[in-house]
Amino acid sequence: MAKKITMSDIAAAAGVSQSTVSLVLNGSTSVKIAQATKRKVLDSAESLGYNNKKVAHALGLPKKIAIVINGLSSYDPFIDAINAAREEAWSNDYILATFNYGHDEVMASKIESEINGGDYAGLIYASSMTRELSQQRVNTSLPTILLNCTNESNSDTPSILPADMIGAYKAVSHLTKQGYRRIAILSGENWMLASQQRSEGYRQALIDADILPNDDYCREANWSLKEAHQQTLDLFQLAQPPQAIFCCSDFMAMGCYQAIAELGLKIPQDVAVVGYDNQQIASESFPALTSVDLPYSDMGKLAVESLLAQMEDQPLLSHRRKVEGELIVRSSSSQ
């Protein structure tokens, strides 16, 4: 086991008293100490590997926040959350160190050791997929915020989530207010929290418009363009096909678009389509796709703000914050 470095060790290496070491490392201004002596103490502490955040800050090294994520694809809109968190951290003089362990247990253990042994002030534990965690893989005693996930076994850890139910409600209410009655949904995999929340918002919007939800119009397309394409074709085999389709992602909406084109139908004249995520493809598709903005940038910024408040022992407004996304209305749903 490595010997713990003490102030006495630093004093011996720097050739000064232990009292001088204590004053320098604690940033005391009560006694005037020569800059050369301060530098000698700090250099000795650093070379000996003395683990003290005040040393790093006295040396002018950046303060660090860690963000740990369990997997990220080559292009994932959740990158917006990470970029916003990085900018917000830097605006508060912190560097955001990003770790992606990709479900590799050995790597996760190494990351955990790095965070607990390094000069980190706090942790943002993130998931690119909105979900409830059975456990948090990387653990620390540092202040922690959960981003796009919650922890079933530890509800005390604050979390930042998208208000998916409200987002879906906005999308479907937009359709009902225009007089559409037969509205279908193409959802993701049913076990996922995002799918559950968006499906719940869909059903509630129908109920509030005095429309009885019809299971024939509820199709699980598993976030797949191919499956969304097939489910759309199947919907139009019904005796009363839908007048509008709510797709729980813009990616699935593209599969829906393809199927509608194959059927010789036009959007929105024959059927209206609304997506979710508001990715770039939504504004560039033809016709332009109405979509709900997934507020990842706002969530990333709020995660850093909440972590900084926690680090300063400030009370949080809520332990589970939900961020609403705006409905962006385009020509795919306008009559």
The verdict on 248 and 286 lying in the same domain is: yes
User: Residue 144 above 50 pLDDT?
Assistant: yes
Give this prediction's pTM: 0.76
More confident residue, 28 or 281: 281
Q: Which two tokens stand for residue 264?
A: 């010789």
The verdict on 129 and 243 lying in the same domain is: no
Residue at a domain's end among 19, 38, 58: 58
Residue 2 in any domain: the answer is no
In DSSP terms, which residues pair with 262 in a beta bridge? Answer: none
The verdict on 285 and 204 lying in the same domain is: yes
Owner of token pair 């100490």: 33
Q: Which two tokens stand for residue 33?
A: 């100490």
Strands (E), the chain: 63-69, 94-100, 120-133, 144-151, 159-162, 183-187, 218-220, 244-247, 272-277, 290-293, 320-323, 327-328
Give burial (CB, 10 Å; 0-12/13-18/19+) of 222.
middle
User: Residue 61 above 70 pLDDT?
Assistant: no
pLDDT band at 206 (very low <50, low <70, confident <90, very high): very high
- pLDDT at residue number 40: 85
- How much of the chain, in percent, has pLDDT values that exceed 90? 51
User: What's the structural domain count of the chain?
Assistant: 3
The verdict on 200 and 246 lying in the same domain is: yes
Owner of token pair 């000069």: 119
- Domain membership of residue 43 as a residue range: 7-58
Residue 75 in any domain: the answer is yes
The verdict on 195 and 103 lying in the same domain is: no
The verdict on 169 and 276 lying in the same domain is: yes
